[in-house]
């Protein structure tokens, strides 16, 4: 499952540097998450770091990118192999 930043984002800049996969970037209006890079921190941390630091709780699971933990592990291994 990739995560998603909703339009409740206040552009506080705390999530972007916390992402170990560089999946978070500033979009046209708010921060966005690249679902091809987001592993929900699987392989790095026990909890998604962006969710932990977000002061407005605007980072839910992206319903368009539902993935199993095994799939997230595979994505993690693919990303670190590059």
Considering the segment(s) 16-81 as one domain, its CATH architecture is 2-Layer Sandwich (3.30)
What b/e readout covers 41-61, taking b as 16+ CB neighbours within 10 angstroms?
A: bbbeeeebbbbeebeeebbee
Mean residue pLDDT of the chain comes to 96
Domain assignments of the chain as residue spans, ordered by start: 16-81
Q: Which two tokens stand for residue 31?
A: 């921060």
C-alpha–C-alpha distance, residues 25 and 9, integer Å:
13
Task: Say what the pTM is.
Answer: 0.92
What would the pLDDT profile of 22-31 be if each residue is shown by its tens digit?
A: 999 999 999 9
pLDDT band per the 50, 70, 90 thresholds, residue 82: low
What would the pLDDT profile of 56-65 be if each residue is shown by its tens digit?
A: 999 999 999 9
Position 1 scores a pLDDT of: 75
């Amino acid at each position: 499952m990739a995560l998603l930043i909703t339009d409740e984002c206040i552009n506080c800049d705390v999530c972007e540097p916390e992402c170990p996969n560089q999946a978070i970037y500033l979009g046209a209006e708010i921060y966005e998450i690249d679902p091809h890079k987001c592993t929900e921190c699987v392989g790095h941390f026990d909890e998604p770091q962006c969710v932990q630091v977000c002061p407005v709780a605007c980072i839910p699971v992206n319903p368009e990118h539902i993935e199993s933990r095994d799939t997230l592990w595979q994505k993690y291994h693919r990303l670190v192999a590059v």
